């Protein structure tokens, strides 16, 4: 038997020791971090690639607040790619591929497209992409003849305000304001549609100045993939749709098939950021980095709805895992993402102080409006469902997705074949994710000020942990009072 001499620690086992600080206000602290060499975040938080946490609504909100959302992979390839496209279309300086419609299409078709894509207008073009007009919600909303052609209700070209591709933000703002219009089509040298600037996008830029964006001003988004051959097709579809990050999402990331997939993805998509995991040892970090991972996710069995450690007996307490993996990550210049085990902003601060460049949160975000989990009311209180992706129902649904069958073919035998390593649970409804992020980041900023750290790099350098007893844990929370 090989028994390691040290004791594995998790977040409740330690506190950070306060240090002398010259920081007078939390606003002096920078929470910027590097997710990969090419991608920076203004807040070091990712939303977990779980089907009760991150789909397009969550990914949009995370990027707008300066973090990043990772779309889960437990859906069809086509749907995941469409989720990526929704995020990329949600906010940008210039809409590079604006939605279009032909002049002969019907009012009913225009309504359907605008509703499905959640947009307020379509550019009317001919077969050569020359702009003929613009049809907006107001043009079709009250139209009595649904079979009338779009050309009969659109604003024609001669009444549109247009500009050349490359229009600056300030110039576009002035043209939109002077003409009192909401959309500015952009034309290339041949007069064909090259893009679109909208009032709503300009407002979003003003409202979300710290958003995580790509070089075109679009929100960044990540997409999770697995390790099967067909996941190369999934990755290709997501990259084509605009995904900025691919995340190889495997419970035991330090495995041969994971290493092979990471290597294959890096060769196929060399310019796309690649995150891989999960691991719990420095050896796992090193081998994934050598295979081509730009960042590594750390955490085995630490999540609140994960029971891998109970079922298999394997895992490493999360703070120890993060600290050991981060040491190797810093040596290799590969960022570490702490995934799982965090319940409070203090835990987030500890994970980052231990050397992580970012954290991935699941249950802490699952109760928000943007999370896709089902909402439940119990005894007058609102909850949302969260489940581990290795839970019984998640496993069965994944098998249904992989091998579509008739409903009657899903027998008790199929359910009995699954050995779940996750559970389903309820979390309290928490409102908008931006409000939760505000609390978490506020706690992190305060924590950094206690360490005298203006940046996360200074937090790594200044952090000093002290082990505490169960009495110390009790003392750390509210005690000996009646809460109101």
Catalytic machinery residues: 306
| 3-state DSSP helix/strand/coil % of the chain, to nearest 5 | 40, 20, 40
The set of residues, in sequence order, having a beta carbon less than 8 Å from that of 58 and lying 6+ positions away, is 47, 69, 365, 368, 370, 371, 372, 433
Does the annotation flag 339 for ligand binding? yes
Distance CA 217, CA 214 (A): 5
53 closest CA partner among 366, 434, 424, 389? 366
29 closest CA partner among 457, 426, 368, 424? 457
Does the annotation flag 348 for ligand binding? no
Q: CA torsion sign, 47 to 53 to 55 to 61?
A: negative
251 closest CA partner among 352, 83, 402, 391? 391
Write down the number of H helices and E strands in the chain: 18, 22
CB 125 within 8 A of CB 152: no
Does the annotation flag 47 for ligand binding? no
Instruction: Tell me which residue has tokens 């079709």.
Output: 140
Does the annotation flag 301 for ligand binding? yes
* CA-angle at 369, arms to 400 and 138, nearest 5°: 100
DSSP state of 15: E
Q: What is the DSSP string of 172-229?
A: HHHHHHHHT-SEEEEE-TTSBEEEEEEHHHHHHHHH-TT--B-TTSPBP-EEEE-SST
341 closest CA partner among 326, 324, 361? 361
Does the annotation flag 341 for ligand binding? yes
Q: Per residue, what are the HEC states of 378-408?
A: ECCEEEEEEECCCCHHHHHHHHHHHCCCCHH
Does the annotation flag 251 for ligand binding? yes
Does the annotation flag 250 for ligand binding? yes
Q: CB-hemisphere CA count at 13 Å for 118?
A: 11
**Encoded tokens for 183:** 């959309």
Query: How many Cβ atoms from other residues are within 10 Å of residue 190's Cβ?
Result: 9
Does the annotation flag 190 for ligand binding? no
Does the annotation flag 315 for ligand binding? no
Instruction: Tell me which residue has tokens 């249950």.
Output: 363
Q: Which segments are annotated as binding site?
A: 249-251, 299-301, 303-304, 306, 339-341, 362-363, 421, 475-477
Q: Which segments are annotated as binding site for IMP?
A: 304, 339-341, 362-363, 421
Q: Which segments are annotated as binding site for NAD(+)?
A: 249-251, 299-301
Q: Which segments are annotated as binding site for K(+)?
A: 301, 303, 306, 475-477
């Amino acid at each position: 038997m090989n028994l390691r001499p040290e004791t594995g620690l998790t977040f409740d086992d330690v506190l950070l020791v306060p240090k002398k600080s010259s920081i007078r206000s939390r606003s002096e602290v920078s929470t910027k971090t590097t997710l990969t060499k090419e991608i920076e975040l203004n807040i070091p938080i990712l939303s977990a690639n779980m089907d009760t946490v991150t789909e397009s609504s969550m990914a949009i909100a995370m990027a707008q607040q300066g973090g990043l959302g990772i779309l889960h992979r437990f859906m069809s390839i086509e749907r995941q790619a469409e989720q990526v496209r929704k995020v990329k279309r949600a906010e940008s300086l210039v809409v590079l591929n604006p939605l279009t419609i032909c002049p002969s299409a019907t009012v009913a078709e225009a309504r359907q497209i605008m509703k499905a894509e959640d947009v307020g207008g379509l550019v009317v073009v001919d077969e050569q992409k020359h702009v003929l007009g613009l049809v907006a919600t107001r043009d079709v909303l009250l139209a009595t003849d649904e079979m009338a052609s779009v050309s009969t209700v659109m604003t024609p070209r001669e009444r549109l305000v247009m500009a050349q591709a490359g229009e600056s933000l300030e110039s576009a703002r002035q043209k939109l304001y002077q003409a009192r219009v909401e959309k500015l089509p952009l034309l290339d040298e041949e007069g064909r549609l090259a893009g679109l600037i909208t009032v709503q996008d300009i407002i979003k830029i003003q409202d979300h100045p710290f958003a995580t964006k790509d070089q075109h001003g679009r929100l960044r988004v990540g997409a999770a993939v697995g390790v099967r051959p067909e996941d190369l097709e999934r990755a290709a579809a997501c990259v084509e749709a605009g995904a900025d990050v691919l995340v190889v999402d495997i419970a035991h990331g330090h495995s041969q098939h994971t290493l092979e997939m990471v290597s294959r993805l890096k060769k196929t998509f060399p310019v796309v950021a690649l995150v891989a995991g999960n691991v719990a040892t420095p050896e796992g970090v090193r081998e994934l980095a050598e295979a081509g991972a730009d960042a590594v996710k750390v955490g085995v069995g630490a999540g609140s709805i994960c029971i891998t450690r109970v079922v298999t007996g394997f895992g490493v307490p999360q703070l120890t895992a993060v600290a050991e993996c981060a040491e190797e990550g810093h040596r290799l210049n590969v960022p570490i993402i702490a995934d799982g085990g965090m319940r409070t902003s203090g835990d987030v601060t500890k994970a980052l102080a231990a050397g992580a460049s970012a954290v991935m949160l699941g249950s802490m975000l699952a109760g928000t409006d943007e999370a896709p989990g089902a909402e439940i009311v119990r005894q007058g209180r609102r909850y949302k469902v969260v489940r581990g992706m290795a839970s019984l129902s998640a496993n069965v649904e994944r098998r249904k997705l992989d091998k579509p069958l008739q409903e009657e073919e899903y027998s008790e035998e199929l359910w009995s074949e699954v050995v779940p390593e996750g559970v389903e649970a309820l979390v309290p409804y928490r409102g908008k994710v931006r409000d939760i992020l505000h609390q978490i980041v506020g706690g992190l900023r305060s924590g950094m000020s206690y360490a005298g750290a203006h940046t996360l790099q200074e937090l790594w350098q200044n952090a000093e942990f002290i082990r505490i007893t169960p009495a110390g844990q009790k003392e750390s929370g509210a005690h000996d009072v009646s809460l109101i």
